[in-house]
Structure 1
Amino acid sequence: MSLSHTRSDAHSDTRSGSFTAHDGTRLAYRSMGEGEPLICLPGGAMRASVYLGDLGGLAATRRLILLDLRGTGDSEVPADRATYRVDHQVADVEALRVHLGLERMDVLAHSAGGNLAQLYAAAHPGRLRALVLVTPTAWALDVPVTPELRLEAAELRAGREPYDAAIAAYRTILDGGGGDAEWDLAMPLFYGQWDDAARAHAAAGVEEQNEEAAGVYAAPEAFDPPATRAALQEVTADVLVLSGELDGNPRPEPAARIAALFPYGVHDVQPGAAHFPWLDDAPWFAARVERFLAGAEAEAGARTRV
């Protein structure tokens, strides 16, 4: 593996690397921190991985490998735009594993990236040592998040601004209306605290997301939930599904259902957190994920892997 130095921070150097996917597309990633590697798959869908930051300081104990999915960040746009579909990108994750020389790997996936991780787990169950699904969607498993559940979470903030305006805008969006102005108003609902850091994070998302790719990513043809659910029974890795107390995508109840579809799945709720929990309480998030990963390492030698 060849990594080029790009910058340093309080934790360690951040380096960039690249590899070539099966179809010739050059894919990029950044390596941040020291310790055991943790492959990080971004959501969005199709948002450049820079928005993950150092995952609340997790880079202090783990070497984060932050993948830019094809057509995002520093990764190339593929010749065939149909390969933006999430099931086609499973091969990209496997190519990264091979490139890094990992027999088995720890993976963290956020939001829509959870679907990529779920499909990877189904296709390569023996290649996972641990899996962390952070506020994941689960179209791949047919665990829906309904408008009613999204509003249930939103209304936990009712009674003060900017949340009352955000709830009204979100209701319009969920009813099938609204545009950029409504999404801007609704943004506070996706963060535990609507502070300057959250505002900057939300504003950056417009430039970091490949909207064309996002429109292809979750095409219905990408998913066969019964087959994926059945394949997940072969996953012997420990799996943590982490939801946010204030998040509507997913609410804790659907998140618990996702965890239950894995033989060794557990669910936890981060208090006061919404869709980006590492921003809402970085120490809590980093400590919970590190504790889980350390436990998964201890269990890894005790289980027979497929």
Structure 2
Amino acid sequence: MGSPESGSGGADPDRAGNFQTPNNSRLDKTRFHVIGAVLFTVQQGALHPTAVVKTRMQVAEGGLAHMSGFAVFRRILRSDGIPGVFRGFGTSAVGALPGRVLALTSLEVSKEMTFKYSERFEMSEASRIALANGVAGLVSSICSGSYFVPLDVICQRLMVQGLPGMATYRGPFDVINKVVRAEGIRGLYRGFGITMLTQSPASALWWSAYGGAQHAIWRSLGYGNDSQTKPSQSELVVVQATAGTIAGACSSIITTPIDTIKTRLQVMDNYGSGRPSVMKTTRLLLDEDGWRGFYRERLSVKSE
């Protein structure tokens, strides 16, 4: 494997000695995307039931909205069986592949370019790494958002079938047909504005925190650009996982309430007169649960 700061938090390819991963120009892109797609699909399959539970909790009204995540999971299993917790998985898994390529390519290219051009400024290496990762996360989020927002609308509508007041669909193309027929193409882009305005900065924060945390952890362990000692595989895994956890904690404060608003905006139709809007959705959540309504899936870890 490459450097301690491999992947998303790497240092300059020409200066980091034994620890460098290949930069984007040396990367075997076919192998990179194929392996990445396989691993991402496996991970997505393992986590999809939690996404179904979270989405239903964010959208539900009444008693279901105040149940714990485990209670909602058991309720879905009782009513729909195993297929119920995997609603929308096929569409999500297959549909995400092109978007994944777009996101990763824009991430790597923009990160490499930012790190290169930041050399002209008097900045520490840690600051340059954090900056490069932050810019890369922002660019990647903007580039991939135009693809993933419609995919989210389709998948989330499939996930919430069966809830009171929700439409039923024969599949993803039926979702597209019904949404476009009712609202035009803009119906597939519900939540696009709020996603770009909030998720993009949140993505920049995540990648910046990830790169900075990884750099700091490796330095604290005694690994530098001139170090001749190669870290073990277990060290690589632990450091990257720790950096990811730190980054996730930093960004979740922003992303959780925004995700709740966006999900409601994308799947709910019973808003009365006028088109759904961010303000209307926000007021509805505040009226139902106050600020706790924005953090439903975070608070749902409590026991029943």
TM-score, structure 1 as length reference: 0.29
Whose Rg is larger?
A: 2
TM-score, structure 2 as length reference: 0.29
Q: Which one scores higher on RCO, CA 8 angstroms, separation ≥ 6?
A: 2
